[in-house]
């Protein structure tokens, strides 16, 4: 995707349209207008329909002929989505995996490898704690930036 397309999607996917895109991405299945309206607590189905049609115009969503449900046809990695990884229907901040990895190895070092309390071990303890804390902070910060 080039910079011009990214700017177009960044501009179009704001506010309620961003929330509609996120719920379709998170759900991983076609949704009706009423399902979107209820999930996002919009005032009426016409608000959900407007934003779904807006996403259709961008080529991100397609309306099914049978049933009238909307399904996601294209995934874009813009904005905060650049920092998320999808595993099936679940979306995780990328930093979550870094945090888990660094924390597991930090705990393994503490429990298995650390024999005595030396100056070198103190450095490793501080470094490991700081790295893990930074990754957990970033994972939580990215999680808080999701639309809802």
Range of weakest confidence among 52-61, 73-82, 121-130 = 73-82
Structure-block tokens of residue 140: 């939580």
Plot region of 28 (φ>0 → left; ψ -120 to 50 → alpha; else → beta): left
Q: What is the pLDDT of residue 148?
A: 63
Mean pLDDT of the chain: 86
Q: Return phi, psi of residue 38, to 5°.
A: -70, -45
Q: What is the pLDDT of residues 2-30, one digit of tens each?
A: 566 666 777 777 788 888 888 888 888 89
Q: Which residue has the higher pLDDT, 34 or 14?
A: 34
Provide Rg for the chain, Cα atoms.
Answer: 21
Average pLDDT over residues 46-58: 90
- The CA distances from residue 93 to 70, 80, 84, 105, 132, in Å, are 26, 9, 4, 19, 15
pTM value is: 0.66
Range of weakest confidence among 40-44, 128-132, 142-146 = 142-146
Q: What is the pLDDT of residue 3?
A: 64
């Amino acid at each position: 995707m080039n910079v011009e397309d990214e700017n177009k999607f960044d501009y179009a996917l704001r506010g309620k349209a961003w929330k509609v895109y996120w719920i379709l991405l998170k759900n991983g299945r076609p949704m009706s207008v009423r399902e979107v309206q209820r999930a996002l607590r919009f005032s009426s189905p016409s608000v959900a329909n407007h934003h779904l049609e807006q996403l259709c115009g961008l080529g991100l969503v397609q309306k099914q002929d049978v049933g009238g449900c909307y399904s996601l046809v294209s995934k874009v990695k813009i904005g905060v989505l650049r920092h998320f990884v999808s595993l099936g229907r679940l979306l995780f901040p990328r930093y979550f995996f870094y945090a888990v990895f660094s924390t597991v190895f930090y705990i393994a070092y503490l429990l298995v490898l650390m024999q005595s309390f030396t100056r070198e071990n103190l450095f490793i303890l501080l470094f490991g704690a700081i790295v893990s804390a930074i990754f957990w902070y970033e994972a939580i910060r990215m999680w808080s930036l999701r639309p809802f």
